[in-house]
Amino acid sequence: MHFDISTALTLTSLLTLAVGASLRFAASRYPPELRATMRVWIGGLFLQAAALFAPALVGTSPEPILVVPLNFIYALAYAEMGRAVNLFTGRPRSYFGLVLVAIVTLVSILLALVWQDDRWRVALNSVPLALLEYSVAHAILRDRTPLRPADYLTGALFVACASLALSRGFVVFLGPAIVPHETYVMLTNLVYVFSSVLPMIGTIGFVLMCGDRLNDDLARLAMVDPLTGVYNRRTLAGLAATAMEESAVTGKPLSLLALDVDHFKRINDEFGHDVGDETLCGLVGLIQESLHPEQILCRLGGEEFAILAAGLGEAEACLTAERVRRHVAASPLSVAGNDLSLRVSIGVATLNAGNGDLTSLLRDADRALYSAKRAGRDRVAAASHAAAGVAFSPASPLP
């Protein structure tokens, strides 16, 4: 069998279609946000397949009337891939790609149908086409941390294709009087080879990027409470273990605040669990407004939360708890048209030689919390005072 560029483009086009069809099937197993991104990429992939297959049918030098739609499809394929990456990274849609597609189409119309100058058409179109490829790489690599091997693979491939397209355009611009014909043929073949490889390897890279995102999301979901978005009890255990090790090394104190919403059951009974869930999300916002960035909020379950406060002794932790309590009390929440005023009780325990693990620290904080509840709720209690049967009222000065 005679193997030439047309044959290679035919095979590549068919393989690209197969990859796109396989990805379309696999995308159904991904979460909705990734599925939408993958569908846009698949659209660009099918456009690439069409742009590669047409030259195989009509030759690598198609009739002028076919140049315009072919260049339009080829440019639009890259614009769609760029849009897919922007969706993937959560950036707003950019119309830069569509502007470049319009430029490619206009240049093709003028220099294929009006003036029929292939040399200037190829030279001028190499710039917007290269910019389209660079824009995909830029969208992949820009302002994203950490970058994974799949990001580098996919971005580098688009950069290589863009660089080759620019090089070919520059050689065509210089003309055969300056650049040997063999050099032009070599660059043209390289452009066709990379253009053939790009859809498949680029798609592999993109799928790996989606896989990395999925793994990150699963890891994050294992760490956070799905309702409120703050860390869960399992993550608290790991963070507390690290904080306790640091406390043992540095000698700095470590405190834990146990927080519970007073009479929360009334909200669920009166307004329903949906309102209760929204209320908890609003409460998390109020608590976080009262904390320093290094202080960690976790949901233990139901309406009970914990705050890990490294570097704070009991007195300082009680002041932090009181600041949280007062901010919650002074900030009514509007939920589903209902104005809800919340009150919270908070127990404070501090790490010392007698409670050197999370279980005992939580137990002491819970004991202080129950002391605050028994004393009338809407107040802060410390574990050392709870042991003596003392709780702080909202009006009492804190130690």
Contact yes or no for 317/348 (Cβ under 8 A): yes
Helix, strand, or coil here: 306? Answer: strand
Rounded to whole angstroms, how far apart are CA atoms 48 and 43?
Answer: 9
**Got the DSSP string for 41-110?**
HHHHHHHHHHHHHHHHHH-SS--HHHHHHHHHHHHHHHHHHHHHHHHHHTPPP-SHHHHHHHHHHHHHII
Which has the closest alpha carbon to 135: 101, 102, 167? 101
Rounded to whole angstroms, how far apart are CA atoms 357 and 265?
Answer: 31
Contact yes or no for 391/372 (Cβ under 8 A): yes
Phi then psi dihedrals of residue 176, to 5 deg: -65, -20
Residues 80, 278, 303, 314: which is the catalytic one?
A: 303
Per the annotation, the verdict on 303 as an active-site residue is yes
Contact yes or no for 164/184 (Cβ under 8 A): no
Contact yes or no for 59/71 (Cβ under 8 A): no
Rounded to whole angstroms, how far apart are CA atoms 306 and 225?
Answer: 12
Active site residues: 303
